[in-house]
Amino acid sequence: MNEIVEILKNLDWSPFYISIKTGIAATIVSFFLGIFAAQKIMGATSRLKAVLDGILTLPLVLPPTVAGFFLLLIFSKRRPFGIFLFQTFGIKVVQTWLGCVVAATVIAFPLMYRNARAAFEQVDVNLIYAGRTLGMSEMAIFWKIVVPAAGPGIFSGTILTFARAMGEYGATSMLAGNIPGKTGTISQRIAMVIQDGNYLTAGVWVAIVLVIAFLLVFFMNVIASKKMKQQKKW
């Protein structure tokens, strides 16, 4: 017990802050992109929907290292797009915190997209027809009727997206590297201390991740149960 207390006192908390910042940034980007993609695909033809859905869901089923490999090909300063970003806007993605955000967003985005799409598909179409009857624009119907009605699913997707983005390891390691205090996340720190044979420190970090994950799931379940009770009252 004393050893654990001593580890906590001397622990470098930068991986925790980097992981939280990365998770928040990736979740914000995935939230708007996921809702936008889900909305557009809902109105697509069945064949086009199947193709686009497969492309957007692909990062969810691919090994993270494979996704990281493709991201490295795209954003490397030796590749056309990476050269363009750096020379035109001064933006460097590889081995930077931005790389952490990009990798986490790509890996976590499918969770937001799939949850948003599933939530939109369960919205009562009569609510949409009622909005059109009242003369509301399609944009107003979407944001004032569809999104609130799909709220529980979107909220669950947001929580899961944050949890996935915060714990991303494979793609982040390949694109952003493991630079202490800059791109080193909790997942990378766990892998590093295990390689050094320091299982006690790794256990402390694992316990921290477990607590965060439990709180996220608990919070998600509490909100979902409150929403269900409200819907039953209606």
CATH of residue 17's domain is 1.10.3720.10
Number of domains the chain contains: 1
* CA gap 142, 148 in Å, rounded: 9
116: Cα within 13 Å, side-chain hemisphere: 29
Within a domain: 218: yes
Amino acid at site 191: A
Q: How does pLDDT run along the chain (234 residues), one tens digit per residue?
A: 677 777 777 788 899 999 999 999 999 999 999 999 998 888 788 888 889 999 999 998 999 999 999 999 999 988 899 999 999 999 999 999 999 999 999 999 999 999 999 999 888 888 888 988 888 888 898 888 898 888 888 988 999 999 999 989 999 999 998 888 899 999 999 998 898 888 888 888 999 999 988 988 888 787 767 766 665 555
Hey, how many other C-beta atoms are within 10 angstroms of the C-beta on 2?
Answer: 6
Q: Are 183 and 165 in contact (CB under 8 A)?
A: no
Hey, how many other C-beta atoms are within 10 angstroms of the C-beta on 40?
Answer: 11
Within a domain: 234: no
Within a domain: 118: yes
pTM: 0.88
Domain residues for 106? 2-229
